[in-house]
Amino acid sequence: MARIAVLHNTLDFHGGADAVCLTVCEALQRDHDITLFTVSETAPATLADRFDVALSDIRVRMPPGAAAVAGALSGAAPWIGPQLALRSVLLERFFRSSATAFDLAVSTANELSLSIPSVQYIHYPQFHLHRLADGDSGRLNRLWSRRAGPSSSELAREETMLLANSSWTADVVADIYNTRPAVLHPPVDPIPCELAWEQREDGLVAVGRLAPDKQLLDVIAVVDAVRDHGYDLHLHVVGAAPRAYRRYAERVAAAANERPYVSLERDVPRNRLEQLLCTHKYGLNMKQGEHFGMVVAEYVAAGMVAFAPASGGQQDVLGNRQGRLFDSVDEAVSLITNAMAANDPPELQPDRFAREQFQTSLRRYVDDSLTALNR
């Protein structure tokens, strides 16, 4: 049994990265002593049910005053903008004094400069973004990079194992650090659905944080346009509403209230989410450059026909299939209209990203890293 620190910058955004963090803890808790380091208001148990994760006895350690700091950062998000790199700086500084107590660190908070052997799972690079030709690094990214960002040589060390959530993300990491991670797609279990395709509703579901990057107002615009083409399509918007995005959530709620064919449900339990996915035919994500696309993978896992932008890791999820990936709102309208006219069932297998496959691979990477320490 090894002493393993799992590092995750925050659980407060209730997204796919948080699902990966908790699934990693679940995978490793059976054989190892796990401590989760984070800077969060949200307790792991709060999200365990939402992500259908069984957590037993893992310790959680946070910097002094972390919950208050996390709350302040969430509250200030509309004014200060991106903050994951800042939270990672706070996390890395706090962990530094405890690092020698652990055999291995597993970061689900992207890349970090760490003094002990590590397995680092990268959803998208958070430091040194100025090295990307088209990267939007933000005003303070160079500062955060100096505080906690690793060098290219650090990430190339034998005792550092890099993993990425998609081939697209792996390419971005290689552009910044000249080291390409192995690809390990995030866990998305198949969702058992009883209804045959023909019995499902001609409805569209859009799942995700009520946040600007999810482009939920564009989702509503797509449904408006499809209906203008004569198709009786309705929409369910389903998502968490973290305080950091409260202003945008209010705009989405106002748009939904104006349309009888659009419903908005916040913070739904897992069984309600699965009910919606299993009773509707179509799923839509509008975020460009999604690093993987957990929501899109869930649409596939529930036997839906899924649509997403032709960018980022969503191309992996949808197997680069024509007729499912789009470059604009108008093209999304056209693809969904064509799909409704054809009424063809989905082609992708629901178990492509099953959790068991993810956890088995993750354990292997961790075991390989621990074995290398004992050579």
Q: Is the pLDDT of residue 79 over 50?
A: no
All structural domains of the chain: 3-187+354-373 (3.40.50.2000), 197-342 (3.40.50.2000)
Q: How much is the pLDDT for 136?
A: 65
Give the span between the Cα atoms of 123 and 109, in whole angstroms: 8
Helical ranges in 29-83 per DSSP H: 44-48, 66-80
Q: How much is the pLDDT for 114?
A: 96
Average pLDDT of the chain is 92
- pLDDT (tens digit per residue) in 191-205: 999 999 999 999 999
Q: Is the pLDDT of residue 72 over 70?
A: yes
Q: Is the pLDDT of residue 67 over 80?
A: no
Per cent of the chain over pLDDT 70 is 97
Consecutive H or E run containing 336: helix 329-342
Q: Is the pLDDT of residue 246 over 60?
A: yes
- The total of other beta-carbon atoms located within 10 Å of residue 51's CB is 21
Q: How much is the pLDDT for 15?
A: 81
Q: How much is the pLDDT for 242?
A: 73
Give the span between the Cα atoms of 300 and 318, in whole angstroms: 8
Among 45-54, 140-149, 259-268, 326-335, which is the least confidently predicted range? 45-54
- String of DSSP letters for 259-299: -TTEEEEES--HHHHHHHHHHEEEEE---TT-SS-HHHHHH
- pLDDT (tens digit per residue) in 15-40: 889 999 999 999 999 999 999 999 99
- The total of other beta-carbon atoms located within 10 Å of residue 62's CB is 18
Q: Is the pLDDT of residue 220 over 60?
A: yes
Q: What's the predicted TM-score (pTM) here?
A: 0.84
Mean pLDDT of 278-301: 95
Q: Which pair of tokens denotes residue 321? A: 């299939």
* Residue 37: strand pairing partners: 7, 61
Helix (H, G, I), strand (E, B) or coil at 161: strand
C-alpha distances out from residue 189 to 23, 133, 301, 303, Å: 11, 36, 7, 12
The amino acid that residue 122 corresponds to is I
Burial of 71 (C-beta count, 10 Å sphere; 0-12/13-18/19+): middle
Q: Is the pLDDT of residue 372 over 70?
A: yes
Mean pLDDT of 71-88: 66
Q: How much is the pLDDT for 84?
A: 81
